[in-house]
Structure 1
């Protein structure tokens, strides 16, 4: 059974991520955990809250969270009554990252699906701050869905990698089982000034091939020093409809995510983006 966690701030971007996940996993028996962590909402106007009012404000925010989650479940049932899917709502007086860590651990979540931007919807950045924090710090694969992205079956997937890390079988199995129902082609892309692979890289490449055995895989090499620009150009020139990268030390994604400011992440992703965390989980 597939276990999927979807955070929501009740924006349309967040609901779009929900509907994308429902369509993506429509062939699988799946449990969806739709969660709203509302602690930040309680203290949003902290300067205006008297200590005596805190309990009342907390109760109001909590009740609204539960009400909005129920509305989402009703909306889902209307648009997608899939008998293979079951839904759970989680309303929590907690910080988003802490609550998601808790649910991922307790429910053994396979994947988090969320919108790239929420209520603030700052178009100057690729990811909203919450999405970026989840990708960086929550130990679970994250699938980020761009604003207003209309669901399309993932037919051509790009997986840039330097083959320097030993990949986790569970996460590659997730990618394999996501892609195989749609007969997707997966292009693994090595971007380097050299077109030769070390023995270690060849071993890791073989592991990928074995783990993604249900899919057609193309192993590509492009000579370049410009990783971000090369990925972006490859996406545009090859009609890629999903980008997959690994978030770990010594990976392409680490170089992108851990720059000094979010604004430096100039990839401008307008397709679904899956960040594998390379975490050993069972």
Structure 2
């Protein structure tokens, strides 16, 4: 039977070569595709290819490499900051309005961040030589010029909003080359914002528009809370945000996330409901745990603004959707649990499902 060759992952040039070395050390044969043989330092989107029979071993190596890159950093004594990745679309602009208003309420600095993609230099065998695209440099320059124009328009848009505020928000603009999700995660490690705010659109939209998948990848890869603003969300100012549902399963991470959440929304006067979807089978035990959570809230938070509720439903996803609709929830929040790569592929987590199905802003914390 012929061996099936598959793509394990697509990475930047540097990361692809690091992974190749790690795989070969573990005895997993692999090779790279889309590597720019002439100017390797600027190549992006390099495919790491392996035999399918080595998938499980390769997954473990890849997961180990990812975890090493995502070590948590200390955030003490850092001034309040918000990171706003943009792609200059209409839904990205909606996220910018939200971020601007939130930065004003938190008295936080706002950094607008854009990544423009380097085109891959494709190669194909032709006799004993390779054929290269000769206009790649022009394409890079064109992409950079469009990115600069987009950033200038976004800056003007936000400056106009700034003029309407009693206390202007401190604005910064950052633009880099690379793969969007990689660069956002990398920058957030250095910048250490309170929250990353991103626009997103549904998975049923144009295949060429990747902001939805980029947002999902950033949620998976960063330790910073990520707020996703859906394309169809009707934003009428922070004054219209009255109710937030935090979906809890009574894990220790929920208590840490609630502490961060309280700091983020303290100036907004939003009511937080800690909700848990409970089936009939587990309802009695869930009531006991909910009582414990209520005691914690009573000791640590304003009970008028933080409440608890059991959501009776056999299906977690349907139960949350119904509760959001029936109780006029303006923002939904989860804590994303750490899972291995195989589970991520086989069972996309609830946060990612909600990201592509909801019209409600989704605030995701990481465990």
SS of structure 1 residue aligned to 2:252: coil
Q: How does 1:17-166 map to 2 (within 5 A)?
A: 17-39=95-117, 42-43=119-120, 50-81=132-163, 82=165, 83-117=167-201, 121-122=205-206, 128-149=212-233, 150-153=235-238, 154-166=241-253
**Superposition CA RMSD, Å:** 3.4
What runs of 5+ residues in structure 2 fail to find an aligned partner? Answer: 1-78, 124-130
SS of structure 2 residue aligned to 1:109: coil
Q: Deviations over 1:54-79 (max 9, x none)?
A: 22221221222122112211111112
Alpha-carbon separation, structure 2, partners of 1:46 and 1:205: 59
The ranges of structure 1 where at least 4 consecutive aligned residues each deviate by more than 6 angstroms after the TM superposition are 198-202, 255-258
Alpha-carbon separation, structure 2, partners of 1:258 and 1:214: 39
Q: How does 1:171-250 map to 2 (within 5 A)?
A: 171-193=257-279, 194-195=282-283, 196-197=285-286, 206-207=295-296, 212-213=301-302, 216-249=305-338
Alpha-carbon separation, structure 2, partners of 1:256 and 1:235: 25
* Contact 2:245–2:275, Cα closer than 8 Å, also in 1: yes
Alpha-carbon separation, structure 2, partners of 1:103 and 1:3: 13
Alpha-carbon separation, structure 2, partners of 1:210 and 1:104: 33
In the alignment, does 2:350 pair up with 1:265?
no
Alpha-carbon separation, structure 2, partners of 1:247 and 1:182: 24
Q: Relative to 1, partners in 2 of residues 1:10 and 1:104: Cα closer, same or farther, differing over 3 Å?
A: same
Q: Identify the residue that residue 90 of structure 2 maps to in structure 1.
A: 12
Q: Relative to 1, partners in 2 of residues 1:84 and 1:178: Cα closer, same or farther, differing over 3 Å?
A: farther
SS of structure 1 residue aligned to 2:334: strand
Alpha-carbon separation, structure 2, partners of 1:185 and 1:201: 18
Q: Relative to 1, partners in 2 of residues 1:201 and 1:104: Cα closer, same or farther, differing over 3 Å?
A: farther
Alpha-carbon separation, structure 2, partners of 1:52 and 1:211: 63
* Contact 1:9–1:119, Cα closer than 8 Å, also in 2: no
How many aligned residue pairs are there?
266
* Contact 2:248–2:254, Cα closer than 8 Å, also in 1: no
* Contact 1:9–1:118, Cα closer than 8 Å, also in 2: no
Q: Relative to 1, partners in 2 of residues 1:176 and 1:260: Cα closer, same or farther, differing over 3 Å?
A: closer
Q: CA offset at residue 265 of structure 1?
A: 2.9
Q: CA offset at residue 186 of structure 1?
A: 1.0
SS of structure 2 residue aligned to 1:115: strand
What runs of 5+ residues in structure 1 fail to find an aligned partner? Answer: none
Q: Identify the residue that residue 4 of structure 2 maps to in structure 1.
A: none
Using structure 2 for the length normalisation, give the TM-score.
0.63
Using structure 1 for the length normalisation, give the TM-score.
0.80
SS of structure 2 residue aligned to 1:265: helix
Q: Relative to 1, partners in 2 of residues 1:119 and 1:92: Cα closer, same or farther, differing over 3 Å?
A: farther
